[in-house]
Structure formats: C-alpha cells, structure tokens
Structure 1
Amino acid sequence: MKEIVKNNPSIFPAGQELPEKFSQYFQGTAYLQPLTDKGGPISNVTFEPGCRNNWHIHHKSGQILLVTGGQGWYQEWGKPARKLNPGDVVDIAPEVKHWHGAAKDKWFSHLAVEVTAEGSSCEWMEPVLDEDYSKL
C-alpha cells in the first residue's frame, strides 16, 4: 500500500491507499484514514487529482462531507455538479444518488461523517462517465 504525505491537502493524515473492497468503486487512487468510530464513523478521504468515486446511494442513512483541503466536486443525480473548496459542507440525505471526488488537476480531501441508522447500507453503482467529468 502506498502512503502519501507530501501532496496531502488536509490537516488530517491521508492514510493508506483504499483497500480493494472500496477501490473497485473509484476511478483513480484515493486514500483512507479512519479517525474515530465513536457516535458514527469519521474518516479522512484523500483523492489524487482526477480521482472520483462511482455513483452511490446511502440507504436509510446519510453522509456529511466536511471539505478540509484541495478542490473537488459533488453531484446529485439529475443536478449540476457543485465545486467544493476547504470549509464547504455537504449534507447528503438518505436515498440520494450522488458522487464526489477531486478536480482534474487538484488533490482533494474531506472528512466523511457516516450518519448511522439501523439497517443502513451503501449501494455502489456505475462510474461517473469520463465525458461528463471532463466537462467540469
């Protein structure tokens, strides 16, 4: 596993390259550093330039993204993409199909706060198309 330090845009550690069980749902390379599991898991997620995750839905629970460094994107299905910068907060409601990731030429880092709910799950879907991503 590759660890990054020099290019980490966050004040939190970048951690280790995503394990296969997650990396299969990402286009590009991302890193994960769990910070706590008290009250609801919180992890720092760092994306290399151009990296993004597939479309996905958090069933019965949501997710909160706290942008800590770099520049990225967030998009909900059927809506325009939103540029993300340090200090931005994204409150993702349950059952909303979405993706998030780095800008084409910038590293990107956010804290992922998992909103816990009984019976919750994450459904991973299709990749974000290169032709759509390249228009951002």
Structure 2
Amino acid sequence: MKSNLKIAVTLIICVLAIACNKDKNQEKINGDKNQLTQIFPKGEKGSKDLFTGNAYNTGLVDADSVFTTAVGNVYFQPGARSNWHSHPSGQILIITDGVGYHQIEGRPVEIIKKGDVIKCPPNVRHWHGASADVGLQQLYIVPNTEKGIVNWNEAVTDKLYQSAK
C-alpha cells in the first residue's frame, strides 16, 4: 500500500512540475496578485453544509483496488473554508497557489501558501481554506481509502476564522 501512495505522490509532483513550468509568466495573470493560476478545472461548487463561502472541488484520481488513494483539487475563493473534518487515514495537502489558513484542533491557526505541504494526521479534526483577501488552490491526497475518506463536522466559526488574520 505504501508503494502505491509513493507512486501516486510522485505522479502528482511530476504533473505539477510540468504544469508549473509551462509558462512562468502565468503566475501574474493580468497583474492581479489575487488572481490564482488555474492548473486543473475549477470543478463543482462544494455544499453549503460542508463549506463556508465558495469552494470548488474536482476529483483527479479516484481510489480503486490498486491505488487506494483519492486525489483532487480544491479552489477556495477568498474567505471560503471547509468545516471541521477528519480523515481515517489522514490527508496530505499540497498548496499550489494562493494564501490561506489551516488548523489542527488544539493547535494555533497556521498561514499556508503556495509550495507548502501539510500533513493532517489520521482521525484528527482540522480545517483549511483561503485567506480573507486571497484565494487558495490545493491538491488533496487521501490515502488508504478502504478505511474511509472523510468525516465532516460543524462549520468553523467566523470568530475563529477571523482570529487567523
């Protein structure tokens, strides 16, 4: 199983390297620092029951019997964030553009930005999303999906979110 995850992560890194090197000037779309470089399609708008604000998800790799790993892309518009949630086998986030916040329950809110890699431990509540002024684009990797994918909880309060600024 670990070798399958390594293969999936290696594949994602290769895809990102190719996509990011296609045109270095794409990072400055229209000179707007708040405009993100889109690597993957925007995807479907996330449910209001699971996200605050506008977040869009697109699956990239569906888990199967060989690769028991789900991979996808989420684009959070400024101010958007996930609810508190956990993953039975943990989650890896690769931030591909923008600025945002991430918090593991019981720890301080962290600022996350393009190039950061975050490991969310198994069965530990956390949330993540865009900053108030700049969107966030991330790849998510959920390994060992045979154990389950995600357990959703309550929304992150505005007070907690605003404390991250």
Question: Match of 2:129?
Answer: 101
- Return the match for 2:101 from 62, 73, 87: 73
Q: Which runs of 5+ in 2 are unaligned?
A: 1-29
- Alpha-carbon separation, structure 2, partners of 1:80 and 1:24: 24
Question: Match of 1:41?
Answer: 70
Q: TM-score, normalised by structure 1?
A: 0.84
Aligned residues: 128
Cα shift at 1:117: 4.0
CA contact (8 A) 2:46 2:55 kept: no
Higher normalized contact order (CA 8 Å, seq sep 6+, divided by chain length): 1
CA contact (8 A) 2:46 2:54 kept: no
Which amino acid in 2 is paired with 1:111?
L
More helix by share: 2
CA contact (8 A) 1:14 1:31 kept: no
Which amino acid in 1 is paired with 2:114?
P
Q: TM-score, normalised by structure 2?
A: 0.71
More strand by share: 1
Q: Which runs of 5+ in 1 are unaligned?
A: 1-5
For the pair 1:110 / 2:161, whether they are aligned, the reply is no
In the superposition, relative to structure 1, how do residues 44 and 11 fare at CA in structure 2: closer, same or farther (>3 Å)? same
Question: Which structure: larger Rg?
Answer: 2
Question: Match of 1:9?
Answer: 36
Cα shift at 1:68: 0.2
Identity of aligned residues (%): 37
Question: Match of 1:24?
Answer: 49
